[in-house]
Structure formats: C-alpha cells, structure tokens
Structure 1
Amino acid sequence: MGNMATEIVAFLLTISGLILVSSTVPTDYWKVSSVDGTVITTATFWSNLWKTCVTDSTGVSSAKTSRRSHIQVCRGLMIAVVCLGFFGGSDTTKARLTVLSGLHFILSGICCLTACSIYAHRITTDFFDPIFVAQNHKCG
C-alpha cells in the first residue's frame, strides 16, 4: 500500500511540475526594469525567452525577438523540459513507466534548473556590473 501511495504522490508531483513549467515558458515578465522620471515612470523594459519589449508612459509598446546566446540556450533547455516531461509520461507499460519516466523527469528537472539558473545568473551579473548600461537594448 505504501508503494502505491508513493507512486501516486510521485505522479502528481511530476504532472504538476510539467504543468508549472509549461505555463512558465510563455510567461511575458521574466525580467522587468524601468526608467523613472521625476514624477512618473517614463519607460518599462521587460523580456522573456521569446522577446524583449519596451513600453513608454503613453502606453506605446515595441518588441523585438531576443537573439542573445544565453537566451537561446535557455529557450532550448525549456523546450527540452516540456518535451522530456511529455514523453516521460507517455509510456504505458508499468515497468517502463517507472524507470523511463523517472529518468525523463530527472533529466527534465535538471534542464529546467539549468535554464532558470543561467537566466537568473545573467540578470544578477548585469545588475551588479557597474559598466553595464541597464537599458542598452532599445526596441523599435
């Protein structure tokens, strides 16, 4: 009975992890920064795995596709996470399901952790770098 409960909990955790990662990939606001004027915010810059955008105080937005190498790596890893999670849950034989789906989900978790760590490291490095110009990628 305990083994079945463990399998059910593991299944629910993997499905919820797959759902959370699948909803994280298309999220718009992975990184947000703003340029403040004296009274109002004059521009808001935001980016994700797919695009980098700027919105000014009048509400006008412009966007461009992100082509930076670390974002391309993160993009590929996150797509691999979704694919590995999907294929890891598609086996039908119980023995294969336990072994292969466990390996798929472990590899999927490692890819997700790596992608998020790379992205967060780049944001942190840029934030603390005194030479980095925070808004050097004007969209338009």
Structure 2
Amino acid sequence: MSVAVETFGFFMTALGLLMLGVTLTNSYWRVSTVHGNVITTNTIYENLWYSCATDSLGVSNCWEFPSMLALSGMLGLRCTTVGGTDGSKKAKLAAIAGALHILAGLCGMVAISWYAANITQDFFNPLYAGTKYELGPALYLGWSASLLAILGGICLCSHCCCFSREDPATRSRLPYKASTAVLPQVASDEGDSSFGKYGKNAYV
C-alpha cells in the first residue's frame, strides 16, 4: 500500500509542477471586463510578463512590462535505484522532496491568491477609474496545480512516516546463508547388511 501511495504522490507532484509551469506562461491571468460597457472595442488581457490588447477585428498587440519593480506589489521512490538501495535513505529523500513540493504548492497558492485579491479589490472599488479586470483561466489552473503539488507532497511525506513505523527486520534484506543439509554417511562394509547377504564379489 505504501508503494502505491508513494507512486501516486510522485505523479501528483509531477503533474502539479507541470501545471504550474503552464500557468506561468499562460497569457490570461486577468481579462478586462465588459461590465458597464455599452460598446467594447477591444479586450485587454495580462499575465506576469506582458499585456495584450485585441481589437474588434481580432488583431492582438502585445507589449512586455518594462520593469518588474514598476508593477503592483506581489508576494525518491523504492522502484528506482537513484540514491542507493537503502530504504531509510530513500524514505528521507522522499520526505524532503515532499516537503519541497508542499512549499512550492503553498508559494503558488499564495501568489495566485494575492493576484486574484488585487483583481477583485479593484473590481469592487467604486473609486477605481482604471480598467477593471476579471479572474482569468490561468488563475484557476494555478490553484489546481498548487493543490495537486500540496497533496502529492503530503502523500510523499506520509509514506516516509509509514516507512519509519515498519518493522526494521522486515525492511532490511536478509543476508544470504548457505544451506546446511546433513548428508547421509556411507555405511561401512561391516555395518551394511547387503554386503553380508551377497558377498563382496557380487559387486565386482
């Protein structure tokens, strides 16, 4: 059961990190809203790196942010041989990997939630005169990715705890021991009854 949990946690963390990478490159972190607009001439969408505007003909024009400081504020598996074959070392490596994945998921969750909070704060602020945005699909993808990374890291860490509670005698490999079978002793001429029955010359 622990091997299944470890493998499941590995695939969850790998999928979570892959989805976080896709989230970072996604262009739709926030999209301009059409609320209150009678005629919409263009749509503005932004991510962490650049801002784009699409006109009514579908032509997009993007420009990268000139400075990051000018923006608003933001915040080992047992089936492998990597790291040796010692089970306790592998369990420690898996626990460290799980903790790092939990940390990565928490960082992604905090950053995306902070970004979403800024969007909603500007959207519901009646005194804000700038362009109002709505939550883009990249934020939902990032939340899902962060959750997968956290759950996968928990699976890896819980596997380490279960591994440490197992019996060390059942975890360690038994040393090879040669068999000590007792061979039958060859009977002497005087003790074997077949020699007395047939005589020594019968076997020549």
Q: Give the structure-2-normalised TM-score.
A: 0.50
For residues 1-140 of structure 1, the aligned pairs below 5 Å read 2-34=1-33, 36-38=37-39, 41-66=40-65, 67=68, 68-70=71-73, 73=74, 92-93=82-83, 94-135=90-131
Please give the alpha-carbon distance, in whole angstroms, between the structure 1 residues aligned to 2:55 and 2:107. Answer: 35
CA apart distance, 1:34: 4.6
User: What SS does the aligned partner of 1:69 have?
Assistant: coil
Call closer, same or farther: CA 1:44–1:112 in 2, change over 3 Å.
Answer: same
**Residues 30-84 of structure 1, C-alpha deviations (whole Å, 9 max, x = no match):** 111155544xx311010011111212213343323234133xx46xxxxxxxxxx
Q: Give the structure-1-normalised TM-score.
A: 0.71
Structure-1 residue corresponding to 2:158? none
User: What SS does the aligned partner of 1:16 have?
Assistant: helix
Please give the alpha-carbon distance, in whole angstroms, between the structure 2 residues aligned to 1:108 and 1:134. Answer: 33
CA contact (8 A) 1:33 1:44 kept: yes
User: What SS does the aligned partner of 2:25 have?
Assistant: coil
Letter matched to residue 69 of structure 1: S
Q: In structure 2, list runs of 5 or more residues that go unmatched.
A: 76-81, 84-89, 133-204
CA apart distance, 1:133: 2.1
The alignment yields a C-alpha RMSD, in angstroms, of 2.1
Q: In structure 1, list runs of 5 or more residues that go unmatched.
A: 75-91
Please give the alpha-carbon distance, in whole angstroms, between the structure 1 residues aligned to 2:72 and 2:92. Answer: 36
Call closer, same or farther: CA 1:34–1:113 in 2, change over 3 Å.
Answer: closer
Pick the structure with more helix per residue.
1
Equivalent pairs: percent with the same residue? 39
Mark the structure with the bigger radius of gyration. Answer: 2
- Length, aligned pairs only: 114
Worse overlay, 20-29 or 57-66? 57-66
User: What SS does the aligned partner of 1:25 have?
Assistant: helix
Pick the structure with more strand per residue.
1
Larger RCO, structure (CA 8 Å, separation 6 or more) = 2
